Structure 1
Amino acid sequence: MTDKPEGEGFRRLAGLAGIGFALVIVGANLILVPAGLPKPGTDADQAVTFFQDHRDLVSPALALTPAAWFCAVLFGAGVLATLRSTERDIGTGWSMVGFAGLLLQNATFTVIVGLRYALSTAAGAVPALWVLQDALLALNGTFLALALVGFTLAGKVGGLVRTWHAAIGFLATAMQFAGAVLTPWVIDGPGTLGWVGLSGWLLWVVWFVAYGIALVRGTPSPAVQRP
Structure 2
Amino acid sequence: MLRTLPGSAPTAPSFTRVSGLAALGFAFLIVAGNVILVPAGLPRTGAGIGEVDGFFRAHHDLVGIGSALTPAAWALATVFGAGVVRVLWHSERERGSAWALVGFAGLLSQNAAFAGVIAIRLALASTAADGLGADTGLWALHDALFTLNGAFLALALAGLSLGGLRAGLVRPWHGRWGLVSAALLLGSAVLTPLAIDRLGPLGLLGLAGWLMWVVWIVVYGIVLMRVEPGPPTAR
Give the structure-2-normalised TM-score.
0.91
- The CA distance in 1 between the partners of 2:119 and 2:201, in whole Å, is 27
2:15 counterpart of 1:10: yes
The answer to whether the 8 Å contact 2:187/2:205 transfers is yes
Aligned match of 1:189: 198
- The CA distance in 1 between the partners of 2:180 and 2:84, in whole Å, is 20
Q: Partner of 1:35: helix, strand, or coil?
A: coil
Shift of 1:47: 1.0
The answer to whether the 8 Å contact 2:53/2:133 transfers is no
The answer to whether the 8 Å contact 1:100/1:147 transfers is yes
When structure 1 is superposed on structure 2, of 45-54 and 174-183 the one drifting more is 45-54
- The CA distance in 1 between the partners of 2:89 and 2:212, in whole Å, is 25
2:97 counterpart of 1:92: yes
Deviations, residues 162-220 of structure 1 (Å, cap 9, x unaligned): 01101210110100000000101111101101100011000000000000000001179
Query: What pairs up with 1:7-46 in 2 under 5 angstroms?
Result: 7-46=12-51
2:18 maps to amino acid: L
- The CA distance in 2 between the partners of 1:146 and 1:53, in whole Å, is 36
- The CA distance in 2 between the partners of 1:23 and 1:162, in whole Å, is 23
2:180 maps to amino acid: L
- The CA distance in 2 between the partners of 1:172 and 1:97, in whole Å, is 16
Identity of counterpart residues, as a percentage?
51
2:10 maps to amino acid: D
Deviations, residues 85-110 of structure 1 (Å, cap 9, x unaligned): 10000100000000000000000000
Number of positions where the alignment pairs a residue of Structure 1 with one of Structure 2: 221
Query: Mind listing any 5+ residue stretches in structure 2 that lack a counterpart?
Result: 1-7
- The CA distance in 1 between the partners of 2:222 and 2:116, in whole Å, is 29
Deviations, residues 133-182 of structure 1 (Å, cap 9, x unaligned): 00101000000000000000001112211011012101101000000001
Larger RCO, structure (CA 8 Å, separation 6 or more): 2
2:67 maps to amino acid: L
Aligned match of 1:129: 138
- The CA distance in 2 between the partners of 1:121 and 1:59, in whole Å, is 9
Deviating above 4 A after TM superposition, structure 1's stretches of 4 or more consecutive aligned residues are: 219-223
- The CA distance in 2 between the partners of 1:63 and 1:12, in whole Å, is 25
* TM-align CA RMSD: 1.4
The answer to whether the 8 Å contact 1:48/1:127 transfers is no
Aligned match of 1:166: 175
2:151 counterpart of 1:142: yes
Query: Mind listing any 5+ residue stretches in structure 1 that lack a counterpart?
Result: none
The answer to whether the 8 Å contact 2:24/2:221 transfers is yes
Aligned match of 1:103: 108
